Amino acid sequence: MNVEAENNWSDQTLVHKVLRGDTQAFSRIINHTEPLVAQIVSKMIPDAEDRKDLAQDIYLKAFHKLDSFRFQSKLSTWIAQIAYHACFSFLKKKKLVLLDSMGDEEESDSWIEAHDKTVNIFDKEPERLLHQTELSKILKTGLTTLPPVYQTLLTLYHNEELSYAEIAYITELPEGTVKSYLFRARKALKDHLLLTYERDAL
């Protein structure tokens, strides 16, 4: 079978091949899912050595749990869930801040929609006032000031373009909580940028 045909294997085909002992099929799963897993690990784990150890642990867990995968989501989303919770557990053991100090209450969808335009720094306003390359650098720097969960949610939604439902599956949070956290993350990032850079420079 040629490489192009292998690249078109479905999740079901890959999983069944791995469960029949095809180690090359699992290597292909790693190749397919590594970009998404790397985004999660890099946003949640600051130390490079810890990232390497966690990445190995994530795929080891995925391999051993593969027979429990029921194709209720994309395989990449399922492995992303394993990655997120591995990182979350690691940070929790280290007793690091995972979120901000704001309350746990969820804003309603209508409240978020009404206020989101004022804090959505990924929207049009900055792009009119700043070259895209400069904006990317500033956002990347500002993103690192946020708690790991906020960094991860923003990356999954804006960079990976995952839906609220997919992010909710990965994090095992209610969709309403995902929306609320995304709103807070955008607001925290915009507040940081406004404190760091003069408004005229944005």
Residue type, 48: A
Say yes or no to pLDDT of 132 above 70.
Answer: no
Q: Are 164 and 175 in contact (CB under 8 A)?
A: yes
Structure tokens at 169: 């599956």
CATH numeric code, 109-201: 1.10.10.10
Q: Are 152 and 43 in contact (CB under 8 A)?
A: yes
> Band of the pLDDT at 144, cuts 50, 70, 90?
confident
**Domain ranges within the chain, ordered by starting residue:** 3-93, 109-201
3-93 is classed CATH 3.30.70.890: no
* pLDDT value at residue 193: 80
- The pLDDT of 31-43, averaged and rounded, is 95
The residue whose two tokens read 């909580």 is 177
DSSP characters for 8-65? T--HHHHHHHHHTT-HHHHHHHHHHHHHHHHHHHHHH---HHHHHHHHHHHHHHHHHH
From the list 23, 24, 33, the residue with the least C-alpha distance to 6 is 24
> Band of the pLDDT at 96, cuts 50, 70, 90?
low
Helix segments in the chain, DSSP class H = 3-7, 11-19, 23-44, 48-65, 75-93, 109-119, 124-129, 132-143, 148-154, 164-171, 175-196
Say yes or no to pLDDT of 133 above 50.
Answer: yes
Say yes or no to pLDDT of 202 above 60.
Answer: no
Say which residue, 6 or 189, is predicted with more confidence: 189
Say yes or no to pLDDT of 167 above 80.
Answer: yes
> Band of the pLDDT at 111, cuts 50, 70, 90?
very low
